[in-house]
Amino acid sequence: MDFVLKPLPYAYDALEPHISAQTIETHYEKHHRGYVEKLEKMLAGEPLAGRSLEHLIREASGPVYDNAAQIWNHDLYWRSLCPAKDRSEKPKHGLLSVRIDGAFGSSEALSWRLAAAAEHLFGSGYVWLFWRPSVERLEVAGLPDADNPLRSGDVPLLCIDIWEHAYYLDRRNRRDQYTDAVIRNLLDWDAAEQRLRAAL
């Protein structure tokens, strides 16, 4: 059973000035932890409690799906970001950069696509960069609520949480400022490259 709150891979203040320590602490300790506790409570004594989060995302529905997906999504979100000092500013030349150029034209064009997906997503959700094995291509999509590309057989490489709790303390209603700051300064391209390699 992996309904555990995985450790945050950096300190609360590691993503400043782009995301404040207060936002990270509240997001992780209240929201992410809350999904873990809700799912544990919901599945106590149930056969599904022994299944993986991935299984629940693919097979469950309603609140079990929502909470399982939210745990998985946050685990990936924390690992989609990294402190600016540790990060490659752009995808290094390699498998990911070749696939980005093939699908979008350039890493700059991918940044615009990610920002546009965030802008056009009505309400809460995530922006995803994922590998679609059926067409052997990278894709970008904004998906509502907890929805996750695993459900359609795709392989998530990066996600950006654009629920209000991800930015409201820092940016109030300016979702665009938050998504721009994340896309320009925090996305962990090396981690996305590793996930793509594992998927191929």
CB of 116 to Fe ion, least distance (A): 21
**Residue among 167 and 189 whose Cβ is closer to Fe ion:** 167
Tell me whether strands 137-144 and 125-132 are parallel, antiparallel or unpaired.
antiparallel
C-alpha torsion angle, residues 186, 150, 73, 14 (rounded to 10): -20
Q: Mapping DSSP to helix (H, G, I), strand (E, B) and coil, where does residue 133 land?
A: coil
First vs last Cα of the chain: how many Å apart? 27
161 is a contact residue toward Fe ion (CB under 5 A): yes
Query: Which H or E run includes 158?
Result: strand 155-161
147 is a contact residue toward Fe ion (CB under 5 A): no
One symbol per residue from 33 to 72: x for binding Fe ion (CB under 5 A), - otherwise; what is it? ----------------------------------------
CB of 106 to Fe ion, least distance (A): 29
The number of residues making up the chain comes to 200
Tokens of 145: 């609520």
188 is a contact residue toward Fe ion (CB under 5 A): no
**Residue among 77 and 131 whose Cβ is closer to Fe ion:** 77
**Residue among 161 and 188 whose Cβ is closer to Fe ion:** 161
